[in-house]
Amino acid sequence: MDGSEANILKELSFQLAVTRAMLKTVELDQILYIILSGITHGDGLNFNRAVLFLAWDRRNELRVSRTAGPANGEEAHRIWESIKAEKLNLESLFDRYTQSSSEPQFLTNRLIGFSLKLDEVKPLESLNAMQFELRSIIAHCVSTGKPFYINGVEVNYRDWVTGEDVAFKNFACVPIFLHDEVFGVILTDNFYNSRIIHSDELRGLSGVANLASIALERALLYRRLKEMAQVDGLTGVFNRRYYERHLHDEFMRSKRLERALAMIVFDIDFFKKCNDTYGHECGDKVLRQFAQLLKTNTREEDMVARYGGEEFVVLLTGETSSKDALRAGEKIRSIVESTAFADFQPGQITVSAGVGVVQPEEDFEQLFARADKALYEAKRSGRNCVRLFES
Burial 308-321 (b: 16+ CB within 10 A, else e): eebbbbbbbbeebe
State the average pLDDT over residues 307-326: 89
Q: In this predicted model, which residue has the larger pLDDT, 112 or 341?
A: 341
The answer to whether the CB of 36 falls within 8 A of the CB of 52 is yes
Higher pLDDT, 177 or 160: 177
Domain(s) labelled CATH 3.30.70.270 in the chain stretch across 240-388
**Distances from the Cα of 241 to the Cαs of 245, 246, 275, in angstroms?**
7, 9, 25
pLDDT bracket for residue 165 (50, 70, 90):
confident
Q: CA torsion sign, 303 to 306 to 310 to 311?
A: negative
Phi-psi map region of 373: left, alpha, beta (phi>0 left; psi -120 to 50 alpha): alpha
pLDDT at 146: 96
**Tens of pLDDT, residues 259-295:** 889 999 999 999 988 888 888 899 999 999 999 999 9
Q: Which residue has the higher pLDDT, 162 or 360?
A: 360
Please give the average per-residue pLDDT across 170-190, as a whole number: 94
Interval 210-231 mean pLDDT = 82
State the DSSP string of 293-306.
HHHHTS-TTSEEEE
Using alpha carbons, select from 185, 166, 165 the residue that is nearest to residue 176. Answer: 185
Q: Classify burial at 252, counting beta carbons within 10 Å of its beta carbon; exposed 0-12, middle 13-18, buried 19 or more.
A: exposed
Q: Is 227 a catalytic residue?
A: no
Domain span(s) for CATH 3.30.450.40 in the chain: 3-225
> Residue 123 has what pLDDT?
95
What pLDDT is stored for residue 59 in this prediction? 64
CB 306 within 8 A of CB 295: no
Written in H, E and C, the secondary structure of 309-331 is: CCEEEEEECCCCCHHHHHHHHHH
pLDDT surpasses 60 at 17: yes
> pLDDT tier at 219 (50, 70, 90 boundaries)?
confident
Q: Is the pLDDT of residue 100 over 90?
A: no
Give the contacts of 8 (CB within 8 A, at least 6 positions apart): none
Q: Which one is catalytic: 61, 250, 310, 337?
A: 310
pLDDT of residue 37: 87
pLDDT tens digit sequence for 121-164: 999 999 998 899 999 999 999 999 999 999 999 999 987 666 77
- Whole-number Å distance between alpha carbons of 1 and 6: 6
Q: Letter for the amino acid at 283?
A: G
Confidence (pLDDT) at 72: 72
Per-residue pLDDT at 84: 65
- 240-388 fold: Alpha-Beta Plaits (3.30.70)
Checking if the pLDDT of 64 tops 60, the result is yes
216's enclosing H/E stretch is helix 201-228
The fourth-level CATH superfamily of domain 3-225 is: GAF domain (3.30.450.40)
Q: How far are the Cα atoms of 42, 167, 244, 327, 333 from residue 181, in angstroms, in the given order?
A: 31, 28, 33, 36, 38
Q: Give 343: exposed, middle or buried? Use CB within 10 Å, 0-12, 13-18, 19+.
A: exposed
